[in-house]
Chain A
């Protein structure tokens, strides 16, 4: 009698993540999707139809008939949305690349550090999470603004004689994203580099590679799963990022997160903002699937 019972508990354990996904992802997603098919209304909630069974099944059926894809068509008609999507992806891609450039040497250094100090280094990478994300982004305003710390320093050392305009430019957004998401880049890179056998690099050198070519032929290819994981962990949240472009990028920056905020709070157009969110999600699902495929491939490689 023990076996069937354990089979049931086994099944339950597997069900938990699915339930989680159902309640906190699929159901909310369908609610958003439903709203995206509605029309705005001056009401509470601010859209129609509001589905309810109280008026009977026939009424419900006729309400369902009111759903339309008009909001999605609207998104294609105003260039604002297309531009916002493209600019978000471009900004996120550039930031991800910069984060990789900054994060790789850090992760490499950590992986090569003496084993005794590695836990400390890891701790230091995670340390910023102990303060609020919002406060850290605000702090960058104080650093980057024309009379901010950075400009004061550069003026004092005589490197420049006019304050640099960084705040409210794309540069400030890049700095903000790279700074905020760097740990997500470093951690997977570190874990990929740390488990690499150093004798592989010695073998490459033994077979005639200079240290630099040994890096490109052995170290880097073997760290690719970490590179991909790190890039996706930075890229995906960066595309939909709202706080950083809003605080550091000024009014000019066009990012989909800001557009969504405007539709939702300034225009109170829930259906259109829902449609924006659904498209954004589809845009991000593609890289996630790519990520999973890469992971499966890495697993198949036996690493």
Chain B
């Protein structure tokens, strides 16, 4: 299979063997009392990368970020920034700035003073501070709000002040903890692109925490998927979606159909998988799963075609019955119950206004997909 690279820009240092990681988590474990929040985790993040940490609530994303910022010390392991061990270095001496989940704007200071805070702390000359603050205000489009206090701003404006304050110091690494959590959908989408622009313009390394997979997919060069303090997979958005490394990742990101079964027969890269109740699936690439291995065949709904007549040809064709239909406007999701009882989700784009092949509840239907449409998962 063709390798799925970064489709957004020509940037993939993680594929270059001689590239040096900028941030390295080496076997990091963090315990709170006898609760393990992060468990023997290793990660490498490269300079100028937009890196997302994605995972369910409580999986240790914030803890990881807070260890990088210096608010928590790892119980075990080492964090390196540009080759330097960060252990024992207090937050105020780390070249890292954080945008807090709660924004943490200083309520007794104006927008301007909030943004200037870190610069003053560094003893930057006054004229330079003014210039930098003006630049920042322009960047986040808050020029006319410079003299306001945080409580006089809307949620979205506050979020942009928090961003400007964190970026103002031009940190080597910017950490963003659920930066867009409080925004409505529209503003959130707009801001995602603003963030990407900003990262490109300033050439910073961004580490962003989110539990919104769409957000991670939109913004990040690479995504780390975490579960219970462990890394499940680190890959580009396209890889995570099209080539998930495990059942967990496949299930966590987007919608997927999972066929549990055994590799019956291998023929080069291709294989036949025997599923439950006599189901047979032909796949062009079964990876390194030897014959006899228990595997899951995973396939996304949009890669399955539904039709009322039996397709004339196809790698995989299965008969079933329409179980449920969800019309979403831009597409329709069919739930098809196969002969073996399994319900398969298939989505089809509503490219025209009328459907030439109307399907209704309890109709007989056929699903079909190509032999390279799914992935074989061993874990």
Which A residues are within 8 Å of any B CB, using their own CB? 197, 199-200, 202-210, 213, 217-218, 221-222, 301-303
Contact = CB atoms under 8 A, between A and B. Distances in A.
A225 to B, nearest CB: 10
Interface string B337-364: 0000000000000000000000000000
Contacts of A302: 107, 149, 151
Given A209-B92, A222-B107, A302-B107, A204 B117 contact: yes
Contacts of A205: 70-71, 90-92
B104 interface: yes
Given A199-B100, A302-B149, A206 B69 contact: yes
A40 to B, nearest CB: 54
Contact of A197 (B69, B104, B165): B104
B121 A209 contact: yes
Contacts of B121: 207-209, 213
B169 interface: yes
Given A301-B108, A301-B149, A207 B169 contact: yes
Given A208-B92, A208-B169, A301-B149, A203 B107 contact: no
B122 A208 contact: yes
A200 to B, nearest CB: 5
Contact of B91 (A199, A200, A206, A218): A206
28 contacts: A197-B102, A199-B100, A199-B104, A202-B71, A202-B91, A202-B98, A202-B100, A202-B104, A203-B98, A203-B104, A204-B117, A205-B71, A205-B91, A205-B92, A206-B92, A206-B96, A206-B97, A206-B166, A207-B92, A207-B118, A207-B121, A208-B118, A208-B169, A209-B121, A210-B90, A213-B121, A221-B108, A302-B107
A199 B107 CA distance: 12
Nearest to B101: A199
Contacts of A210: 90, 92
B46 interface: no
Contacts of B100: 199, 202-203
A207 B97 contact: yes
Given A197-B102, A302-B151, A207 B117 contact: yes
Nearest to A210: B92
A193 B369 CA distance: 63
Contacts of B69: 206
A207 B105 CA distance: 12
Nearest to B121: A208
A209 B70 CA distance: 13
B332 to A, nearest CB: 45
B71 A301 contact: no
Nearest to A196: B107
Contacts of A208: 92, 118, 121-122, 169
A200 B70 CA distance: 15
B14 interface: no
A81 to B, nearest CB: 42
B106 interface: yes
A205 to B, nearest CB: 4
Contacts of A202: 71, 91, 98, 100, 104
